[in-house]
């Protein structure tokens, strides 16, 4: 006897919960071959606003956690992602219309990406920081600190990137202790929401990562102009009017990463794109 499948309802991931869009809107997601897969929630500007509120609320806890702890949490994401490998392979192969082995390779890359960035948590500050030999009786240390709330546009339609694209944009921002509002690949958002489920069941605190599905062209401008967003990762925004987004972000002098085709490499530079260098001076004296 065959078992009738229970299709999953794909919703947004905001503040550790999975709400539908407050607008009640959804849109049809189809497979690489054009078949109906699911109705994804179509996030509105208010969902984006809620996501920023959740992300801001999560900053102090996440950035205040020890680097060792953040590393363990990100590693935990890799563990859980790997544990749900089969599900992601399914989703990716249907979304992208690729073979199971190609999809598996993508999942493996995504897992490895989490592991790689997890390892950076308690090391990047040693590479990017500095003890500065100033000419005077001062202790002088520069350390990188998180920028705050990072809004990212995941790669849109990048080959082999429906999962890996969003992982490569979210993970590096988390390393330093930033929190993220991510806009998923519009046409292939399902594995992004499944990633949200992984995050929700790993030890990532609610609000640290928020995932919006829907139209980047509609949502991104609200994030770009939002005064409580500190940085804008436009990696996947090459197909949007990204210049306008950059101009809009300039109003509150957001840190901006410009678009890049395809899937970004994993790189220390992506961690450092969302940090601030803080330099602390203190007098030194024996007497």
Partner 1 sequence: MTIDKSAPAAAAPATLAPAERAVQVLGGDLTEKALRQNLEGLPGVDAVGLEQRAAGLATRSIKTSSKAWALDRIIRLIDLTTLEGADTPGKVRSLVAKAVNPDPSDAATPRVAAVCVYGDKVPDAIEALGAAHGDPDDGLISVAAVATAFPSGRASLRVKLADTADAVAAGADEIDMVIDRGAFLAGRYGKVFDEIVAVKEACRRTDGSYASLKVILETGELNTYDNVRRASWLAILAGGDFIKTSTGKVQPAATLPVTLLMLEAVRDWHRLTGEKVGVKPAGGIRASKDAIRYLVTVAETVGEEWLQPHLFRFGASSLLNDVLLQRQKTITGHYSGPDYVTID
Partner 2 sequence: MKDIEPADGRFLEYAPAPESTSILKVRTDYGLFIDGEWVQGRGKSFTTISPSSEKKIATIASASDADVDAAVAAARRAYEKSWAKLSGSDRGKYLFRIARLVQERARELAVAESLDNGKPIKESRDVDVPLVAAWFFYYAGWADKLDYAGLGANPRPLGVAAQIIPWNFPLLMLAWKIAPALAAGNTVVLKPAETTPLTALLFAEIVQQAGLPRGVVNIVTGAGDTGAALVRHPDVDKVAFTGSTAVGREIAKTVAGTHKKVTLELGGKAANIVFDDAPIDQAVEGIVNGIFFNQGHVCCAGSRLLVQENVHDEVIDRLKRRLSTLRLGDPLDKNTDIGAINSAEQLERIRTLSDIGEREGAERWSAPCEIPENGFWFAPTIFTGVETSSTIAREEIFGPVLSVLTFRTPAEAIAKANNTPYGLSAGIWTDKGSKILAMADRLRAGVIWANTFNRFDPASPFGGYKESGYGREGGRHGLGAYLKSGASK
Which of 9, 99, 126, 277 is close enough to bind partner 2 by CB under 8 A? 277
Question: Quick one: the chain helix, strand, coil %, rounded to 5?
Answer: 45, 20, 40
The nearer residue to partner 2, 55 or 193, going by C-beta atoms, is 55
Query: Cβ of 204: how many Cβ atoms within 10 Å?
Result: 23
Shortest gap between Cβ of 275 and partner 2 (angstroms)? Answer: 10
The nearer residue to partner 2, 1 or 135, going by C-beta atoms, is 135
- Which residues contact residue 139 at a Cβ distance below 8 angstroms, ignoring those fewer than 6 apart? 280, 281, 282, 283, 284
For residue 264, give the DSSP letter: P
For residue 203, give the DSSP letter: T
For 93, 162, 167, 252, the CA distances from 100, given in Å and listed in that order, are 6, 14, 19, 44
Instruction: Classify residue 53 by burial, with Cβ atoms within 10 Å: 0-12, 13-18, 19+.
Output: middle
CB 125 within 8 A of CB 225: no
Residues of the shown chain interacting with partner 1 in the complex, contacts defined by CB under 8 A? 136-138, 283-287
The nearer residue to partner 2, 100 or 134, going by C-beta atoms, is 134
The nearer residue to partner 2, 19 or 238, going by C-beta atoms, is 238
Among the listed ranges 50-58, 100-108, 174-182, 270-278, the one in contact with partner 2 (CB under 8 A) is 270-278
Name which of partner 2, partner 1, none residue 278 binds, using a CB cut-off of 5 to 8 Å depending on partner kind.
partner 2
Q: Site map for partner 2, 111-150, x if CB under 8 A?
A: ----------------xx-x-xxxxx-x-x-x----x---
Nearest CA among 160, 81, 159 for reference residue 118: 81
Query: Cβ of 267: how many Cβ atoms within 10 Å?
Result: 12
Q: Site map for partner 2, 224-263, x if CB under 8 A?
A: ------x-----------xx--xx-xxxxx-x----x---
Where do contacts with partner 2 occur on this chain (CB under 8 A)? 127-128, 130, 132-136, 138, 140, 142, 147, 230, 242-243, 246-247, 249-253, 255, 260, 269, 276-283
């Amino acid at each position: 006897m065959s078992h009738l499948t229970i299709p999953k309802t794909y919703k947004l991931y905001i503040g550790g919960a999975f709400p539908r869009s407050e607008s009640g809107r959804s849109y049809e997601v189809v497979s690489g071959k054009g078949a109906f897969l699911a109705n994804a929630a179509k996030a509105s500007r208010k969902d984006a606003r809620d996501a920023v509120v959740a992300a801001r609320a999560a900053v102090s806890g996440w950035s205040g956690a020890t680097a060792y702890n953040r590393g363990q949490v990100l590693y935990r994401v890799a563990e859980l992602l790997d544990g749900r490998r089969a599900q992601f392979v399914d989703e990716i192969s249907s979304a992208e219309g690729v073979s199971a082995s190609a999809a598996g390779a993508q999942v493996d890359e995504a897992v490895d990406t989490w592991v790689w960035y997890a390892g950076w948590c308690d090391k990047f500050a040693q590479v990017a920081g500095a003890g500065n030999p100033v000419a005077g009786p001062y202790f002088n240390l520069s350390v990188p600190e998180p920028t705050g709330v990072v809004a990212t546009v995941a790669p849109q339609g990048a080959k082999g990137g429906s999962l890996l694209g969003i992982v490569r944009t979210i993970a590096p921002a988390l390393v330093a202790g930033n929190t993220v509002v991510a806009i998923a690949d519009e046409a292939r958002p399902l594995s992004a929401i499944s990633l949200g489920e992984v995050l929700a069941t790993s030890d990532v605190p609610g609000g640290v990562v928020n995932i919006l599905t829907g139209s980047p062209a509609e949502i991104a401008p609200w994030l770009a102009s939002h005064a409580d967003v500190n940085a804008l990762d436009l990696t996947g925004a090459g197909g949007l009017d990204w210049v306008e987004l950059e101009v809009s972000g300039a109003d509150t002098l957001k840190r901006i990463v410009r678009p890049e085709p395809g899937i970004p490499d994993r790189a220390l530079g992506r961690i450092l794109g969302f940090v601030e260098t803080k330099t602390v001076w203190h007098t030194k004296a024996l007497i």
